[in-house]
Chain A
Amino acid sequence: MNETRTLKKESGLPKFTQSLVLIVIIAVICVVTAIVNPRFLRIQNIINIFQQISILGIVASGVGMLLVAGQIDISVGTQVSFMGVLFAMIIQKMMGLPEKAVPEWQLAAAVPLAIFSTFLVGALMGLLNGIVVIKSKASSFIITLGFQVVYSGAALLLSGGASYMLFGEFELLGRGRIFGVIPIAILFFLGMIAIAFVVLKYTRYGRFLYAIGGNKKAAFVSGIKTDKITLIAFIVVGLSNALAAIILISRVGSALATTGDSYALDSLAAVIVGGVSLSGGKGTAFNVFLGVVLIGLISNALIIMNVNPYLRQVVLGAIIIIAVTVGQYTGDRS
């Protein structure tokens, strides 16, 4: 409102401060946890943490880019669940149960077909979310809340409440390690963060995401096809969820209708803690990365410190509330 030239707190500060705050918090948690239980610092545990957050990180990369454009997708968790069931089901149906022999071509085609179908469905779910949000002009929070329930029901319908097993097939992606040390999943996580980084920083499309999230009307008046850009962001979320679902099922080895549900809350928490403004127009891939690490760290620290696992949800919810409240008081409202 006021047109003073003085620098406003948040917006005027150099960009790295948000990252700095996160890094400090992460360091503090590490120190405290290490003091309580020195096992925390073992290299094996560190790698574990990263493996655990890989899938979350992939989901969060997509959600982060969407949130930069000022939209939210609550349905990511049940999207992952649905696609997980779909993926496992295709593989099980094609490869058959362990004792039954199936034709050679079927064995060969199973994995490519499952991967292709999952990505296709991911893109379609993103497309559907995006179209309804754009056409209804309603809040994406409410619309995707509805879709969350729809996809959850769809996952139950598809699975019939049963669990689909991979029987040891397709384990590499989720459980494999390069040189027997670095889990493959971590590479996908870092790859997705890198893609988000490049897109947000170096592409025209990324620039438009910021413009739309910052001021949709101004973006529209400047000739940016706001609907198209927003729609693509929703599809990207669907595609990253597909990737997450595939890696998740590969790691777990089986799929239930609820396997991925928790990623909705976790990814949102990670992205918001990472400082992507809820109203859009702000946030970087690096901060999303830090947010994901922080969420993963908190979960791991609670386990390492022998805290009741149910407390995790309480802590996670509290973190979201605190992060949003703090955001509101540091200039997000302008």
Chain B
Amino acid sequence: MAVINILETHGLTKTYPGVRALDSVDFDLAAGEVQALVGQNGAGKSTFIELIAGSLRPDSGKIVIDGTAYSWLDPPRAIELGILTVHQENQLVDELTVAENIFLYNLPATRIGFVDNRDCRRAADELLENLGIKIRSDRKLSHLSFIDKKLVSIAKACSRKAKILILDEPTASLDETGRKILFDIIRRNAARGLSVIYISHNLSEIFEVCNRVTVFKDGKKVGVHAACDMDVSLLVHQMIGRSSATLYNRDRSAAATENILEVRDFSREGVVDHVSFQVRKGEIFGLGGLVGAGRTELARMIFGMDPKDSGTLLYKGKDLTARTPDDAIRKGIGYLTEDRKGDGLVLGRPIFENISMARLAKEKAFLLKLEREQSETAEIAKKLDVKTPSIGQYVVNLSGGNQQKVVLAKWLFAGSEVLIFDEPTVGVDVGAKGEIYRMMDGLAKEGKAVIMISSDNPELAAVCDRVGVMRDRRLVTVLEGEQVTEENILRHSMGVGEGQRK
């Protein structure tokens, strides 16, 4: 008898404006199988699981569950079919007990409608026992350790008769012991027929617990392998794939060795762990790593947005350490935040107001010089080639690339000498990406210190002279010259050192 597939997808496709997030994916998951999904940021893993769990609708393709084909699912239907997701952040209620949390979706009630605590606890104990999880069901959730909360989340999913369990980064912030317990539970329940889709950035643990590995890249499934046939290197290689045609070629010849910016010992307990590096004159310094490695947090500290335990910023010998954004701007630091719309722009105001905002904040005058403001902001908008009929246009009406140029214009207009670009090309079309790279290059050549944070490794490899890689809140390496490759950035991001392979 052939292996029964509990889940299959055929030609599953999802498109967003300008991006094909998922491109005709055929996938299969056997009953009792633990299958890993791997891929770089933006490879399509999240979109895929959201389609399976019903929170997104595919544009085309089929989802076949236990032999029945569906063209789309919604969350209640997915749960009814036994597809449950355990998210990276726990979605439990701290103030309730373990038992109450598990059965929150349908608490057992007495005849007159009160919660039947005894019944609830008995059912929870039975479930936990059955799953092999040793937690007392009457404990309040807030008293549990991190791993126990994770296990409660899994128990909650299983209580709804899960057939397919989707685990999204289940080991994030777990220590070794927690990991062991988790894997043990996964193996034990898989042996009894539970199928698991396992998403993790930690490649080595995949081999401990998974039967097969599916690799995603740029929205496509590029391979599926038995875990025993793979090793970490092969996986990394496939995640990167054949290097996509270079989108941009930077002239690196001009890079000097003179340091102009020193980031010295930035640290905050549990957020960023003693990070120091230098930026050289004329270079673009990249900061790579996985989402959550502490890069944005570091940028926010440098910019004075978040408190820090220690950290000094020196630019051409001057101390620019900032306590508040206001202080940072006065000292000549500019920060293009990753969330352009959230904290970069005032969307409902005109372009010129957005451009002049930071400069005005530095000035003292009571009255505005409207005419001068108009002509000067128009000039800088023109220089950066912001495409708009007029600078009185509301920013909300601009494309992503043009919005990003407005943010950049704001910092240049404020006279920033140190510029931190946080994911500057997210949501920006290909043409505008090239323009933004050229602008960053131009600024570096003018002698400004330029730092670029990006989760797009090919971008870092193509644009930056040197790339610092952060992992788990620490700067683990600074790649230079020939070392600056997509593969190296990814390896260090994931903690798979080159040494391991060679």
**B305 adjacent to chain A (CB < 8 Å):** yes
Of all chain B residues, the one with the shortest Cβ separation from A225 is B326
Q: Check: A207 CB closer than 8 A to any chain B CB.
A: yes
Give Cα A274–Cα B137 distance, bound, in whole angstroms: 57
**B256: Cβ under 8 A from any A Cβ:** no
Cα A224 to Cα B427 in complex, Å, equals 27
Cβ of A74 within 8 Å of any chain B Cβ, yes or no, is no
Q: For window 209-253 of chain A, which residues contact chain B by CB distance below 8 Å?
A: 210-211, 214-215, 217-225
A214 and B366 form a contact (CB under 8 A): no
The smallest C-beta distance from B174 to any residue of chain A, in angstroms, reads 32
Interface: A11 (CB within 8 A): yes
Asked whether, in the complex, the Cβ of A8 is within 8 Å of the Cβ of B397, the reply is yes
Asked if A210 and B397 sit within 8 Å, CB to CB, the answer is: no
| In contact, B344 and A223 (Cβ under 8 angstroms) | no
Closest Cβ neighbor of B401 among chain A residues? A3
Q: How far is the CB of A222 from chain B (nearest CB, A)?
A: 4
State whether the Cβ of A2 lies closer than 8 Å to any Cβ in chain B: yes
B353, A12: Cβ atoms under 8 Å? no
- Determine if B328 is an interface residue (Cβ-Cβ < 8 Å): yes
A210 to B348, CA, bound (A): 9
B133 in contact (CB, < 8 A)? no
Interface flag for A100 (CB, 8 Å):
no
Q: How far is the CB of B342 from chain A (nearest CB, A)?
A: 6
15 contacts between A and B (CB under 8 A): A3-B400, A8-B394, A11-B397, A12-B397, A204-B360, A204-B365, A208-B361, A215-B342, A215-B348, A217-B342, A218-B344, A220-B305, A224-B360, A281-B348, A334-B396
Q: How far is the CA of A243 from the CA of B343 in the complex (A)?
A: 37
A11-29: CB near B (< 8 Å → 1, else 0) gives 1100000000000000000
Q: What residues on A are CB-neighbors of B353 within 8 Å?
A: 207, 210-211
CB distance B329 to A282 under 8 Å? no
Among A2, A3, A11, the residue within 8 A (CB) of B348 is A11
Inter-chain contact A211/B357, CB cutoff 8 Å: yes
Given A222-B357, A222-B361, A223-B358, A215 contacting B366 (CB threshold 8 A): no
Q: B123 at interface (Cβ–Cβ under 8 A)?
A: no
- Residue B496 interfacial (CB < 8 Å): no
> In the complex the two chains form, is B358's CB within 8 Å of A222's CB?
yes
The reply to whether the CB of A203 lies closer than 8 angstroms to some CB of chain B is yes
Interface residues of B in 333-376 (CB under 8 A from A): 335, 337, 342-349, 353, 357-358, 360-363, 365-368, 370
User: Within the complex, what minimum Cβ distance (angstroms) separates A227 from chain B?
Assistant: 11
> Which residue among A3, A8, A12 has the maximum number of chain B CB atoms within 10 Å of its CB?
A3
A137 at the interface (CB under 8 A from B): no
Contact assessment for A224 and B349 in the assembled complex, using a CB-CB cutoff below 8 Å = no
In this assembly, does A202 line the interface, its C-beta being within 8 Å of a C-beta of chain B? yes
**A interface bracket (residues with beta carbon within 8 Å of B):** 20 to 34
Q: Do A334 and B346 touch (CB < 8 A)?
A: no
Q: Which listed residue, A3, A211, A221, touches B335 by the CB 8 Å rule?
A: A221
A135 touches B (CB below 8 Å): no
- Which 6 A-B residue pairs are closest in the complex by CB-CB distance? A223-B361, A214-B346, A217-B343, A223-B329, A222-B358, A223-B326
- Out of A205, A211, A225, A334, name the residue touching B349 (CB < 8 Å): A211
C-alpha gap A3/B394 in the complex (Å) = 13
A7 to B427, CA, bound (A): 19
B481 at the interface (CB under 8 A from A): no
In the complex, B462 has a CB within 8 A of chain A: no
- Contact with B337, one of A5, A214, A221, A223 (Cβ below 8 angstroms): A221
Q: Which residues on B sit within 8 Å (CB–CB) of A277?
A: 348
Interface residue ranges of B166-192 to A (CB < 8 Å)? none
Query: Quick check: is B17 within 8 A (CB to CB) of the other chain?
Result: yes
B396 near A11 (CB under 8 angstroms)?
yes
Asked if B330 CB lies within 8 Å of chain A CBs, one says yes
Decide if B410 is an interface residue (CB 8 Å cutoff).
yes
Chain B residue at smallest Cβ distance from A334:
B396
- A215 and chain B: residue at smallest CB distance: B346
Complex Cα distance, B8 from A133, in Å, reads 54
Task: Encode contact with B along A258-288: 1 for CB under 8 Å, 0 otherwise.
Answer: 0000000000000000000100011000000
Output the least CB separation between B453 and chain A (Å). 15
Residue of A nearest to B393 (CB): A12
Q: With an 8 A cutoff between CB atoms, is B144 at the interface? A: no
- Rounded to whole angstroms, the CA-CA distance of A204 and B305 in the bound complex is 23
State A203–B399 Cα separation when bound (angstroms). Answer: 30
Q: Is B263 an interface residue (CB 8 A)?
A: no
Across-interface contacts of B17 in A (CB, < 8 A): 2-3
CB–CB B358/A281 < 8 A: no
Instruction: For A334, give its contact among B305, B347, B368, B403 (CB under 8 Å).
Output: B347
Q: How distant is the Cα of A215 from the Cα of B357 in the complex, in angstroms?
A: 12
Starting from the known contacts A203-B367, A217-B343, 12 additional A-B residue pairs (CB-CB under 8 Å) come to A6-B397, A8-B394, A202-B368, A207-B368, A215-B342, A217-B342, A221-B337, A222-B361, A222-B410, A223-B358, A281-B348, A334-B396
A204 and B343 contact, Cβ closer than 8 Å, known pairs A11-B397, A224-B357: no
Q: Are B349 and A281 in contact (CB under 8 A)?
A: yes
Do B305 and A221 touch (CB < 8 A)? yes
- Interface pair A282/B368, CB less than 8 Å apart: no
CA distance in complex: A222, B336 (Å): 10
Q: Is A218 a contact of B345 with CB atoms below 8 Å? A: yes
Q: How far is the CA of A86 from the CA of B259 in the complex (A)?
A: 66
A residues in contact with B330, CB < 8 Å: 223
B419 to chain A, nearest CB (A): 14
